[in-house]
Structure 1
């Protein structure tokens, strides 16, 4: 996947949230968020997929954890590994608080991304990352639920193919409420700052 394609999908995604961004609303109950605040503008965390251990899981299984939801695939040559590597560093910087968070990596290439493949991939980045896959219909429905987008490129001569996809990171609180939207272009400090706030709020409840 070429970076220019990633930027194209990113632009489409940001246009979808244009009204939120232009509103400049970063406050939520007196909290100064650095990322884009989507509280009340996106649905709760809800899905029925298969994790990288082959177990059927749902959004309810991650209640009590702050969730970072990201759509990608294991054959992605650039933005996926870069994003997961960045999130691993974010987790490290959070220290013990990171145990209250989970990275959910949803494959947009279920034909190739079996649970075994996903397990090896996500665990190469962070032990708190979970690989999720499902039927093409389930993945497409979840993608549409969060206004994400992806498309499979034509097969190359060797039979391989790439998947162009948007690169947003969706942050949900411990109750499964959509709270924040990040992109790989956000400064790492901002992601750490807002995750720290979300995780700290969870420990106070």
Structure 2
């Protein structure tokens, strides 16, 4: 996998790129805030894993929640969503071109469904968690179904490498 490299917009409304998280262990998850089950479950599992870590390790972890649904997931919506999972979670998104660039880079698929009469739509997306070490090198691909203990152990190993 290629190293961490992206240019998106953070939940604060400012631009964000890999330099903003340099030195941290970075976990990247692609999803959307209107996801009924997969996204909140995966992020809750990541949040629980972070709580298993010593504070010194936890403080050097950033979880980037990359929304592939920028139409609904404005910075304000992302901020409200990620706050539920903890201070180490940062929502990011971008326009279609920026999202396509980053999803193509990591071979992540997503597809916006056809709108319903009420304007709602589903989003199909990959559910892997990409893990990068403090140097921004890709090290692991975690499954959203991995146990909290396994995720915490993987993060500890990554942090020790940094």
Which residue number in structure 2 is paired with residue 145 of structure 1? Answer: 105
Which residue number in structure 2 is paired with residue 52 of structure 1? Answer: 11
1:172 aligns with 2:132: yes
Q: Render the CA deviation track for 1:60-114: whole Å, top value 9, x for unaligned.
A: 1111000000000011101000011111000000131111100000010011111
1:71 paired residue among 30, 33, 39: 30
Q: Give the structure with higher Rg (CA).
A: 1
Tell me, in whole angstroms, the C-alpha distance in 2 between the residues paired with 1:197 and 1:183: 16
Q: Please list every run of 5 or more consecutive structure 2 residues that lacks an aligned counterpart in the other structure.
A: none
* Per-residue deviation, 1:199: 1.0
The CA RMSD measured in Å over matched residues stands at 0.8
**Greater helix percent: which structure?**
1
When the two structures are superposed, what TM-score results if normalisation uses the length of structure 2? Answer: 0.97
1:62 paired residue among 21, 31, 36: 21
When the two structures are superposed, what TM-score results if normalisation uses the length of structure 1? Answer: 0.77
* Per-residue deviation, 1:192: 1.0
* Per-residue deviation, 1:200: 2.1
Tell me, in whole angstroms, the C-alpha distance in 2 between the residues paired with 1:49 and 1:187: 29
